[in-house]
Structure 1
């Protein structure tokens, strides 16, 4: 319970003080409840006397009523936390998870599946709030009531108390077994739920591809394996805990039977007063009830612990450290000084002792084969992660001395794959600067060459773009992305082959918008089509994580055996590629038959 309590306090966050107070109230209420049950002992003793001492009997009734009333008042305060704070804890937990995800190093964030994080922020946060508001108080009752009543039984008759204690001690190993099996099992269940959620998100997003390949539907290989694992882990966890739960309940009930049997024998032998036996039986029955319930509730506690642990796992990820002494850059040249970087889980570095300088207000292209390290360079400029060796600087400032948000404040990024939120065009552009006016947004759209298209829509800037911008074409989405960059007006611009997926008409329009965007900026562009970087100030050629060539387009073509010249020649030849003659003839025959 100490472990679960620590996790609950972590999840309670700003409401931890109220949560502790509620636990104290619950403990006090439970002690009063147990004391009220204890009052039955002297009350029954008085009622079985001959003659009955009415005054004393009514005194015990009055004390019993007072204890019950006091417990009821405390329970009202206890329930107030559930009603007043449950939704606040849920909301607070989700907001803190959102803050943690924002501060989480991008490398760590990319390691986690979107559906899995959805499970944590959604289902796990709700389970955690339920555990804090309800289960913690229930656990206090399950522990405190048997403890107090056990002392009462021992005080009344040590022999009966030992029988009750022996049964409890015999059941404890089975309860611990339920904890172990349920604990590991529910962690697997929660992981399986997260994996299933991630795969469902992937399935929905990739449905057009799955339909085209005939793999959509309930028996889709992309779904069936994770759903089978989810079902298997849930069933296995329930089965593994069923026998220990039943065994623990049986032992507690047998202890109660043994107590009554021994008490009856002692009463018949005149070594125990019948009234005492009746009182002990009432106390023992109330003693056994929470113990039996605890064996069942253990599974629920372990389920809550699994949810709390997953929340704690996200909240405990440390953000990238920020070295002391950093000040925001005032100039925007970029310098890599002997940078080596290895992604988590990989044995070989992606960048190896990379050193280069990008002058302020210049245009630099990164070219090279896939996997050579181009994207990694742009990620390090955005402080996606810190290099294991070397230093990345903007304007002479070590990025390790700036918070990631401060770094990104100076950088605008235009990706090849544009992500738009299912919201209005206005809201998607304003992401770059939430306080922007409608005039600012329209000016950015004009600069990106998308205003005329937006103006032709019935709802203009209030038009919703659909999920991931599905209501728009690729070129339209890209120009909205460029409008964001215009609105941000950052001094550094990173372009990740923004025209690669566009048709020739859209490419021309988007390229004109980009030309306006990069004017006067420090620009780094990842290029696969070398024809788009002929006029850049410098080209960095990467191979296997190293910069093997550096210069202008003309300079690099002078080395006919160099990687750049070979790539240029190969791409020039590809531009003249045609369908094979056999295919053309086949198409001609099909057209004739048609």
Structure 2
């Protein structure tokens, strides 16, 4: 589905033509099938309208004083023929909604969103909450695709059948046709009023559902912390607020629909009474028959149900529109452009050349005039207080976003001249907080190299010093690790992530203080695994404990987005500056002991 720059605002009501175009865009390769479905729905509606119109002559024959059995069978046959054609065309109209085509469109739309997700700037991705992305990719796709065929067919029928019946009535009695024109088409302004009132409500409802989904995901993920803080249930303020807001929106939507629906039904029922009165008047005047009036009343009652259905169909259309808008907003996020021609680095020295970067919502830049070279097959440590720009600097290498000034180069090649896949093929990352997928140990390690053999996976696990504990698991390498690796300890998860990085065998390794949250025994095992990982690679490590990086080839000290010092540990410790004060502070904490005197 193409992105539409003219996405509707919360206050506007999309026209039927706009909704039709959006559906065809969403259908993608199956758009011709959806278009045929609409065409068959129109033909089916015309046949149904003609079948209703056949009631006029049929009732004339039935109630005629000179009853003619041949004429009766003739009109029954004509009505049956129209009904049969209605059934046949309706069957064809359902080919889209009740076939693999609908599943194909849903699949293609999700694949398209997934590909866009892969190419989104990480900066934009991190701004989105997990629940919001889940709502767009899963929920909104179902909301706009699943009802597309059937709801549209119902809408077409509700509009087309009355038009055909009114035209047929005009051939029998133009006065009644005018009465029907005044009654049924006058429901259109009420219908638009309903769409205007409910349309905004449906968008608010869709937004409230997305917000609640985000809060639920966040609540479930943070449940251990919430329990520890005794902030579950009614005490989970954000989730409770979101649920209360959703309830308020739902109540508001119900109330908004009461008056328009009441007026619509009043208008339709009053219209039937008016038609009855006009019919009786025409009968008394000798220009209309009781049989025709009986047929007209049957038709009017049947059509009133169809027209009243418009309100419910319109609500579904508006919910679909809200889904369209969210998907279009998602697709409107432009991927980072790739400079042409694309280039591949010949070596793996990393260079920051006068790099300045700031977030759109920030008044001051996160990084300012960074000049730093990471020689190939060397270790560079980034140190500094929280918020100094260490993580942002490493994200620049992964092209989290493009700097406002300067260049980030790998082997002399600007990272903007590499596709995301090519760039990340050169980089392995070991995060402080390891994310494992709810899959087997084997598959979690194999993510580093999807075509790796079981033997290669095991070799990587041995190098990462995790083969021993994996062998003790209930099913060895086939053991399910649970969501986010919840069945494993922090050190075990960390070593599996290192095994994954070893298997990937990328020439650049980025470490985000992988031992910071581990106990002494786990830290030793993980450090041994890291020693295997960083051999003969360009390594950049974010360090909080300075004792872990005293052997680094160079240390860059960041403060307020600038490099204030750089050099080896021995050089920096001899200088009066930020690094020396950090080292002395950490050594002071290390040597600090708590003494207490117990009362006798």
Matching of residue 574 in structure 1 with residue 589 in structure 2: yes
Residues 189-198 or 214-223, more deviating: 214-223
Q: Which secondary structure does the structure 1 equivalent of 2:252 belong to?
A: helix
The answer for the alignment partner of 1:226 in structure 2 is 242
Kindly indicate whether the alpha-carbon contact (under 8 Å) linking 1:149 and 1:284 is maintained by their aligned counterparts in 2. no
The answer for the alignment partner of 1:371 in structure 2 is 387
The CA distance in 2 between the partners of 1:167 and 1:436, in whole Å, is 71
Matching of residue 209 in structure 1 with residue 225 in structure 2: yes
Superposition pairs of residues 340-379 of structure 1, within 5 angstroms? 340-379=356-395
The answer for the alignment partner of 2:455 in structure 1 is 439
For residues 17-64 of structure 1, the C-alpha deviation after alignment (integer angstroms, 9 at most, x for no partner) is 222221122122111111221222333344455535554543333222
TM-score normalised over the length of structure 2: 0.92
Match of 1:180 among 182, 196, 206: 196
Q: Which secondary structure does the structure 2 equivalent of 1:390 belong to?
A: strand
Match of 2:59 among 11, 22, 44: 44
The answer for the alignment partner of 2:444 in structure 1 is 428
Q: Which secondary structure does the structure 2 equivalent of 1:87 belong to?
A: helix
The CA distance in 2 between the partners of 1:52 and 1:402, in whole Å, is 86
Q: Which secondary structure does the structure 2 equivalent of 1:418 belong to?
A: coil
The answer for the alignment partner of 1:30 in structure 2 is 45
Q: CA deviation at 1:74?
A: 1.9
For residues 528-583 of structure 1, the C-alpha deviation after alignment (integer angstroms, 9 at most, x for no partner) is 111222221222222211222222223323430x222221222221212223x4xx
The CA distance in 2 between the partners of 1:122 and 1:500, in whole Å, is 36
Matching of residue 121 in structure 1 with residue 137 in structure 2: yes
TM-score normalised over the length of structure 1: 0.93
Matching of residue 290 in structure 1 with residue 306 in structure 2: yes
Kindly indicate whether the alpha-carbon contact (under 8 Å) linking 1:182 and 1:303 is maintained by their aligned counterparts in 2. no
Match of 1:84 among 99, 114, 118: 99
The answer for the alignment partner of 1:324 in structure 2 is 340
The CA distance in 2 between the partners of 1:286 and 1:206, in whole Å, is 54
The answer for the alignment partner of 1:66 in structure 2 is 81
Matching of residue 194 in structure 1 with residue 210 in structure 2: yes
Q: CA deviation at 1:473?
A: 1.2
Match of 1:9 among 17, 24, 30: 24
Q: CA deviation at 1:480?
A: 0.3
Residues 57-66 or 140-149, more deviating: 57-66
The CA distance in 2 between the partners of 1:509 and 1:283, in whole Å, is 82
Q: CA deviation at 1:218?
A: 4.7
The CA distance in 2 between the partners of 1:340 and 1:152, in whole Å, is 73
The CA distance in 2 between the partners of 1:122 and 1:570, in whole Å, is 50
Q: Which secondary structure does the structure 1 equivalent of 2:372 belong to?
A: strand
Q: Which secondary structure does the structure 1 equivalent of 2:365 belong to?
A: coil
For residues 225-245 of structure 1, the C-alpha deviation after alignment (integer angstroms, 9 at most, x for no partner) is 111111111111121122112
Kindly indicate whether the alpha-carbon contact (under 8 Å) linking 1:340 and 1:390 is maintained by their aligned counterparts in 2. yes
Q: CA deviation at 1:505?
A: 2.0
- Flag the 1:516–1:214 CA change in 2: closer, same or farther, 3 A: same
Residues 85-94 or 190-199, more deviating: 85-94
Superposition pairs of residues 460-539 of structure 1, within 5 angstroms? 460-539=476-555
The answer for the alignment partner of 1:134 in structure 2 is 150
Kindly indicate whether the alpha-carbon contact (under 8 Å) linking 2:131 and 2:214 is maintained by their aligned counterparts in 1. yes
Kindly indicate whether the alpha-carbon contact (under 8 Å) linking 2:211 and 2:242 is maintained by their aligned counterparts in 1. yes
Match of 1:163 among 165, 179, 197: 179
The CA distance in 2 between the partners of 1:548 and 1:2, in whole Å, is 60
The CA distance in 2 between the partners of 1:38 and 1:338, in whole Å, is 79
- Flag the 1:140–1:169 CA change in 2: closer, same or farther, 3 A: closer
Residues 272-281 or 206-215, more deviating: 272-281
The CA distance in 1 between the partners of 2:365 and 2:24, in whole Å, is 40
The CA distance in 1 between the partners of 2:90 and 2:186, in whole Å, is 32
Residues 134-143 or 169-178, more deviating: 169-178
Residues 211-220 or 356-365, more deviating: 211-220
The CA distance in 2 between the partners of 1:179 and 1:102, in whole Å, is 36
Q: CA deviation at 1:169?
A: 4.7
Superposition pairs of residues 251-400 of structure 1, within 5 angstroms? 251-400=267-416
Kindly indicate whether the alpha-carbon contact (under 8 Å) linking 2:154 and 2:313 is maintained by their aligned counterparts in 1. no
Q: Which secondary structure does the structure 2 equivalent of 1:80 belong to?
A: coil
- Unaligned segments of structure 1, at least 5 residues: none
The answer for the alignment partner of 2:35 in structure 1 is 20
The CA distance in 2 between the partners of 1:73 and 1:169, in whole Å, is 28
Q: Which secondary structure does the structure 2 equivalent of 1:318 belong to?
A: coil
